[in-house]
Structure 1
Amino acid sequence: MSVASPDTDVLVSFRGVQKSYDGENLIVKHLDLDIRRGEFLTLLGPSGSGKTTCLMMLAGFETPTAGEIRLDGKLLNRVPPHKRNIGMVFQNYALFPHMTVGENLAYPLKIRKLPAAEVDAKVKRALGMVKLDKFANRYPGQMSGGQQQRVALARALVFEPQLVLMDEPLGALDKQLREHMQLEIKHIHENLGVTVVYVTHDQSEALTMSDRVAVFDKGEIQQIDPAETLYEAPVNSFVAGFIGESNAISGTIEHVDGDFCQARLTGGGSVSARAVCVRQAGQPTTLSIRPERVMLGERAVGCANRFDATIAEFIYLGDHLRLRLDFAGNSGFMVKVPVPEVDPAWQVGNRLSIGWRAEDLRALDPLAA
């Protein structure tokens, strides 16, 4: 997929980039991608989708099999990693255990032969940025995982690189600390304006932090957009299923009229939907609807698509309830209901009206069996 930008303010460009390790199978198939100066771009996808390989090629730890990678117009293909002036943050921190925090941060500055006074000033500023001002004389082994990750982040930023690459940097942290660090990294990025390329397989992390997200699958970018667009307007079944939660219903297109279509459900009944990946009658389709877009009971009256469903299960999640419903041959249909809107009379086995707007249902490519 080509994702080249007409924007002249491009910092990184991939052109026709491919990567194979065995000469036969392409891990990255044909990548054209522009990364804008100052943006936070996340490469998101399942294991083996090609996202980390792209990051490693940009860092210089892997060489493209074909194509070109440029940083600020300069061809990078044969530039060794230590000469690219790129900051890196890894999941395992990669700190020197025999050096203090201050020495770890000073190291990239000293190899660039900066004067001692400038090294001290930059180290102090970087420690302040990650709220570790009083930890300069500690050793990494004397710090928590979250503190070590802050040191790794400060070390990647201390020499003021144009570009910082982050490979699953929060994967080793517990959920609460990970969510806190997501916001910290986002705020540091906003304050510094540095360009960040971030790799994760955690879609909520990608949605929280990014200006744009590139969703990878099988060595190709399936869609690249701001988080809200990815969630509200996925371009295919893979993106709809990978970003957030989605109900997938099988059907066949009956007719297409402009931006909308009519589809016959495999389990019976007909629906109106937004035509995304369908062009003509007879095409198989997977219809996608987000759980929070489904109306229940009286709210379903007047919806373009309306069915009777049976309550199969209640799943309590604190601020909301998930209802698993059976309708038209679909036994795993999920609906999210805020707790204040839950009817205390609902019980497993009850019949319930459900409905949704045609514009909230997307007719996409059929999911592989």
Structure 2
Amino acid sequence: MDGQTNTAGAGEVLVSFRGVQKSYDGESLIVKDLNLDIRKGEFLTLLGPSGSGKTTSLMMLAGFETPTAGEIRLAGRSLNNVPPHKRDIGMVFQNYALFPHMTVAENLAFPLSVRGMGKADIAERVKRALAMVQLEALGGRYPAQMSGGQQQRVALARALVFEPQLVLMDEPLGALDKQLREHMQMEIKHLHERLGVTVVYVTHDQGEALTMSDRVAVFHQGEIQQIADPRTLYEEPRNGFVAGFIGENNRLHGRLLEQDGERCVVGLARGERVSALAVKVGRVGEPVSLSIRPERVRINGRSHDCPNRFSGRVAEFIYLGDHVRIRLEVAGQNDFFLKQPVSELDPSLTVGDVVPIGWQVEHARALDPLAASQ
């Protein structure tokens, strides 16, 4: 196992999980068999629903949880018996965890003073950290005198002030409103780009993961289902769970009729046939699910050159400002969506219209049916 590293090359791997398991009751595994390499300088997000094992994996790396089995290495040394405060890891939590009785500057100085740094060096580092998060004027304030966004900035600065080689963030923006959350996403992303520090970020928000990350590891039931850059994850999901969890996704259920290498034909319940990419399929005759992204579905004249063509009955329009989602009844299912920019919408289209729709073979992915129904 130790010889397995990712394509970044052994010299660039900062953290490696090898055969890591975690159980709280000795029976069920929260983390099943985690083998993961985290590259130096990357922004890696652990993404998944509640209970998927992502936070437990982060807490084992931080040292707040102990693996039941396996080993975690940081910069080549085993962390299994290293206490949290000796791991050279910065942490940012959702609840900020600032000391209320200390000023902002004192909060930032704390991790430096416990490391035995001199007063002049501490003052210089604190000043730099405040400038980094654009809070130079607020060093004398107490946390209670600041907004949630400002407090989260202080928490971020405190995690970075001692220049750790690794920063862990556990749902750090969960308590912020949408607009501030989106603003902070970009702030953290730009800070990461400027500093080059390695970040491991936990969230259940797939939009946040796609926006911020170099790579995303999708967790489900204690295992990584897929790890890839955001575009690959969205465009090329490896199984039904990833397809359903990342972005919007139409699912059609059918059976595998034939397979020829990377392509296959799937038969739907009412006899329709769909040509698709065979991504994760069993044998001919076995059930599969089809994944088609709503923005890849073509309507009316735009569907004419599509090899997969159907008719759909318009059931509902959902306006979302810059684009519109159209819900259709297709192949006996009433929850099939297509997404169009408002500028391309046919103004004469109304509920009840039966229209031709279609999609290209490469935009239909034949996947496992089990995960698709979860």
Partner of 1:253: 256
Q: Is 1:300 paired with 2:303? A: yes
Unmatched tracts of structure 1, length 5 or more: none
User: CA offset at residue 368 of structure 1?
Assistant: 3.7
Question: Would you say 1:268 and 2:268 are equivalent positions?
Answer: no
Please give the residue correspondences for 1:344-355 in structure 2 after superposition, counting only pairs within 5 Å. 344-355=347-358
Aligned-pair CA distance for 1:134:
0.3
How many residues end up aligned between the 2 structures? 369
Query: CA contact under 8 A between 1:59 and 1:86: conserved in structure 2?
Result: yes
Report the Cα offset of residue 4 of structure 1. Answer: 4.0
Partner of 2:118: 115
**Does structure 2 conserve the Cα–Cα contact (< 8 Å) formed by 1:309 and 1:353?**
yes
Q: 205, 211, 214: which one pairs with 1:211?
A: 214
* Post-superposition offset of 1:197: 0.2
Q: Distance in 1 between matches of 2:124 and 2:222?
A: 43
Secondary structure (helix, strand or coil) at the match of 2:318 reads: strand
Cα-to-partner distance string for 1:169-197 (whole Å, 9 max, x where unaligned): 00000000000000000000000000000
| Counterpart mapping for 1:75-154 below 5 A | 75-154=78-157
* Structure-2 separation of matches of 1:179 and 1:72: 32
Gapped regions of structure 2 (runs ≥ 5): none
Q: Does 1:224 align with 2:227?
A: yes
Matches within 5 A, 1:163-242: 163-242=166-245
Question: Are residue 323 (structure 1) and residue 308 (structure 2) matched?
Answer: no
Question: Is the Cα–Cα contact under 8 Å of residues 268 and 329 in structure 1 kept in the other structure?
Answer: no
Matches within 5 A, 1:44-63: 44-63=47-66
SS of structure 2 residue aligned to 1:170: coil
**Alpha-carbon distance between aligned partners in 2 of 1:292 and 1:95, rounded to the nearest angstrom:** 43
Q: Percent identity?
A: 69
Partner of 2:284: 281
CA offset at residue 135 of structure 1? 0.4
Amino acid in the other structure paired with 2:128:
R
TM-score norm. by structure 2 comes to: 0.97
Q: Provide Cα deviations, 1:307-352, integer angstroms capped at 9, x if missing partner.
A: 1110001111110111000021011000001101111111100011
| Matching residue within 63, 68, 89 for 1:65 | 68
Q: State the 1:213 CA deviation.
A: 0.1
Provide, for residues 222-269 of structure 1, a one-character-per-residue CA deviation record: whole Å limited to 9, x for no partner.
000000000000000000000000000001011001110011012331
Question: What is the TM-score with the length of structure 1 in the denominator?
Answer: 0.98
- Write the distance in 2 (CA, Å) between the matches of 1:280 and 1:63: 41
CA distance in 2, matches of 1:162, 1:11: 9
Determine if contact 1:44/1:214 at 8 Å carries over to the other structure: yes
